Each structure stands twice: as C-alpha cells, then as structure tokens.
Amino acid sequence: MGMFDGKKVLVLGVANDRSIAWGIAEALHREGATLAFNYLNEALERRVRPLADSIGCKNVYPCDVQSDGQIDTLFETIKKEWGTIDAVVHSLAFADKEDLSNRFVNTTRAGFQLALDVSAYSLIAVAKRALPLMAEKGGSIVTLTYLGAERVVPNYNVMGVAKAALEASVRYLASDLGQHNIRVNAISAGPIKTLAASGIPEFRSMLAAFAEKAPLKRNVTTEDVGNTGLYLLGPLSSGVTGEVVYVDCGFNVMGS
C-alpha cells in the first residue's frame, strides 16, 4: 500500500526523462498516485506521452501556461475526469538564452516579462484554478526554485529574479490558501543536467564546482528531489507551508 494510493496529482513541466518533474512523478507513481501531465507543443508531446505510457498514464493534456484560456481548459478537463485533485507539481520556467548569457544590465523588457510570466506568474495562475478542486479536502502545491533566487549565480541573471518572485509567491499563496488547508512549498534543488539547464552557459563547469564544494561531495539527482517531493506533497508534511526546502547536498550552507 502506497502513501499516495487514491491520490490524484497534476504534474506540470515534464520535458524528458531527466526532468526534475519526472523524478517527482516517478516517486509519486511508486507510491500509488494517479497522475496527469501537460505538454507545451507537439515536440514536447512526443517526449511526454511515452513517459506517461511507461507508467500506464493516459492523462496527458496540452497547456501553455502563458495562455489563461489553455489553463482554464486544462483544469476543466481535470475536473471532468477526476472531480477533485489532491496535489500539483509546478516545474515550469523559461528565459531567452540572450538574457541568460548577456550582462544582466542588458536584460530586455520583453525578456524580463517573459521570464517572470512563465517562471513565476504561472504558479499563481495554476493555484487559482486548483483552488476549487482542492477546497473541499485541502491539498498541496509544490514548485521548483534554485539558489540563484537569493544569490548571484553566473549566467543565471533574469531567471534568478524570476525565481525570487516565485519564492515570494509561494509565501503569499501559502498565506492566502492556508484557510482552505492548501499548502504551498518550494524545493530549491541543486543543479541537475536537465533540458532547461542546457540553456545555461558553462553549466558543466557549474556541476563540477558544485560537487567539489557541497558537503556531500556529489551532485543532486532527480531521485533526491523526487523523495523530497513525496514529503512535501504528502501527509508527512501536514504542518509545513510557505517554505523553501533545499535539496542541494548542503551546498547552500557553505560560505564559498
């Protein structure tokens, strides 16, 4: 009997089998959860559907979180299929490559708006639609952030600002939705070689430096993050909300 038997979880942001969101999804599936996934476009659908099929999941839906109409349609479909929902995993972020590699002072207005919209506002938009499906019995929402939200990380630039906005949104949503017994938390994962990370210049050298300096002397895995996702999405964290939980082999505690 799994911890998530009978629980229904929407997972947003799987891109391939190296995605952090997929690591969380695998952990949820292992514990008995019924899952649903989104995809942005046809190219990503060709990656997401086989993964969903591999765990016997047929609930795979289109949704671009920059479109309120598509978010509405997704949650209307979820309501029709499931009625209620127990948890949401939000693993969505994007910034133009130029705004990551250029000097931060040269961030464009359009690039700033794009990064904040996809990486931070989408959490608020998703939480708004999840609320009526969770209001009766409560639920949990978990998003993914990074240390660049609070410290300067080379080549992270506007995404660091977006993640800072995301972390503030977690706290405000936790306060706002707590009356409905809906908890909102974030996982701050160490660097992992994902599709999104491939857009960050010099990412390989970042991985090497991380493993050298982190107290556990290794890189973080999607399994590490998946296990923490289980904790935050499930009953073991029933009194935890508005928190940023680090899964980074202790890197964030170091002074250098």
Catalytic (active-site) positions: 146, 156
DSSP 157: T
Q: For residue 214, give the amino acid letter.
A: A
Give dist(CA 254, CA 256) in Å, integer. 6
Give dist(CA 80, CA 75) in Å, integer. 8
Name the CA radius of gyration of the chain, rounded.
Answer: 17
User: Virtual CA dihedral for 155, 246, 88, 40, nearest 10 degrees?
Assistant: 20
Q: Tell which residue, 217, 194, 255, 159, has the closest CA to residue 22.
A: 194
